[in-house]
Amino acid sequence: MTTATIENFVLQNWPRLQKFRIDFLSKLLLWEIIVSKAVALSFFATNINLGRWMIAAAAIAAPRHTAFGILGISGMSVVSDLLSKNDTLKNTGMFTLNGWFLGLAIASFYPANELAFVLLMGLSFVAGMSIIVLDRFLRNWDLPQLVLAYVIAIWTIQLLSMYNPMLSLAIAPSTELAIQNPALTIMLGSAKGFGQIFFQNNVAFSVVIFAILAKFRVMPVWALIAAPISATSLAYLVAGNHWAVTSGLTSFSAILLVAAFQAKFVSPTWTQLGVVVVFSGLFELIALQLAVKFNIFALSAAYVGVIWIVKLLTETTRPVKKETSISMPW
């Protein structure tokens, strides 16, 4: 008896098993689409294949981070159903997008153990509630919340850790050795910005992300090169061999800002875009300094601030017809 014969016999005699298999595969496919779309939203895109390529690259370079990111997406999907009846808000992808970054952050700052899993599930509720509150608050200024909810969730656990040492972050962000060659420092810092979007300080992974973004034309290749270099260059002139410059933290906001512009999520003039891109690295340095005073991490706060600056500049300088290829009322 062949395997196919056995399978046909089972399905003919137990139709419920066939229905279960179809239902299971349908739900699995839907879950995979939700995960892939959440990752694609990191770059203001809805291309599921882009998300799949990103997940595959991340799984090879950082399997633990990827696993926690996917867990975060799954957890936030459940949380969104529990906390919100607003289908419009849930359909924006805000819950799953923040779940992805929340998982990446937990994997970066905690070892893979029971505590990390419990924190991820618990902070999913904090991030979920933050999304609902931010949606009501920021809509008055027409400002997007982006990934601010996961930032608030991580800040919450960092502040709580002052009263309960067990919650203290076990893995601190890595620092960088100073590189004496300015050109090499700027080039490496610019390249690493692509990896830092996913909490990875890895040149090889950054090159892969660059290639994927170029393949799916998320933004022009010249912009992929010029944006991080311009931001890193000014940051280097101001801060020199600061670890944030050499690790790529001063360039990832510029990359995401150009992605937002390419997706027509923001509509500044070319001059406004160029100025904010160049100064985005300085905004990151300022955010890092402010975060130290409160004993927290800057995370993506500067990136959110950069998008807000562009939004406010656009609103105050000229009327802009709001059109976007992504139906997201951020």
Within-domain flag for 9: no
At which of 120, 147, 172 does a domain end? 172
* 256 contact partners, CB below 8 Å, separation of at least 6: 42, 43, 44, 197, 303, 307
Question: Which CATH number goes with the domain that contains 235?
Answer: 1.10.3430.10
At which of 117, 148, 172 does a domain end? 172
Within-domain flag for 6: no
Q: Taking the chain, what is the end-to-end CA distance rounded to the nearest angstrom?
A: 57
Closest to 204 measured CA to CA, from 225, 188, 226, 218 = 188
Least confident of 142-151, 158-167, 202-211, 313-322: 313-322
**Does one domain contain both 197 and 295?**
yes
Distance CA 128, CA 123 (A): 8
**Does one domain contain both 192 and 161?**
no
Q: What is the pLDDT, as a whole number, of residue 315?
A: 74
**Does one domain contain both 159 and 273?**
no
**Does one domain contain both 74 and 220?**
no
73 CB neighbour count, 10 Å cutoff? 27
**Does one domain contain both 123 and 26?**
yes
Q: Give the predicted TM-score (pTM) of the model.
A: 0.86
Closest to 290 measured CA to CA, from 280, 302, 278 = 302
Distance CA 160, CA 295 (A): 11
**Does one domain contain both 135 and 200?**
no
pLDDT tens figures, 191-243:
999 999 999 998 999 999 999 999 999 999 999 999 999 999 999 999 988 88
Distance CA 240, CA 180 (A): 10
Domain that holds residue 201: 174-330
Tokens of 152: 């608030």
**294 CB burial (10 A radius; 0-12, 13-18, 19+):** exposed
Tokens of 127: 């991030």
The answer, yes or no, to whether residue 52 has pLDDT greater than 80, is yes
Distance CA 109, CA 116 (A): 9
Domain count, the chain: 2
Q: Around 208, how many Cα atoms within 13 Å sit in the side-chain half-sphere?
A: 20
Q: What is the pLDDT, as a whole number, of residue 86?
A: 84
**Does one domain contain both 160 and 31?**
yes
**Does one domain contain both 213 and 161?**
no
Q: What is the pLDDT, as a whole number, of residue 25?
A: 72
Within-domain flag for 1: no
**Does one domain contain both 77 and 120?**
yes
- The band of 24, judged by pLDDT with boundaries at 50, 70 and 90, is low
At which of 150, 172, 194 does a domain end? 172
**Which SS3 state, helix, strand or coil, does residue 85 take?**
coil
% of the chain residues with pLDDT over 70: 84
**Does one domain contain both 47 and 163?**
yes
**Does one domain contain both 129 and 258?**
no
**Does one domain contain both 98 and 113?**
yes
Distance CA 321, CA 323 (A): 6
Query: Which carries the bigger pLDDT value, residue 327 or residue 20?
Result: 20
Within-domain flag for 2: no
Q: What is the mean pLDDT of the chain?
A: 85
The answer, yes or no, to whether residue 116 has pLDDT greater than 50, is yes
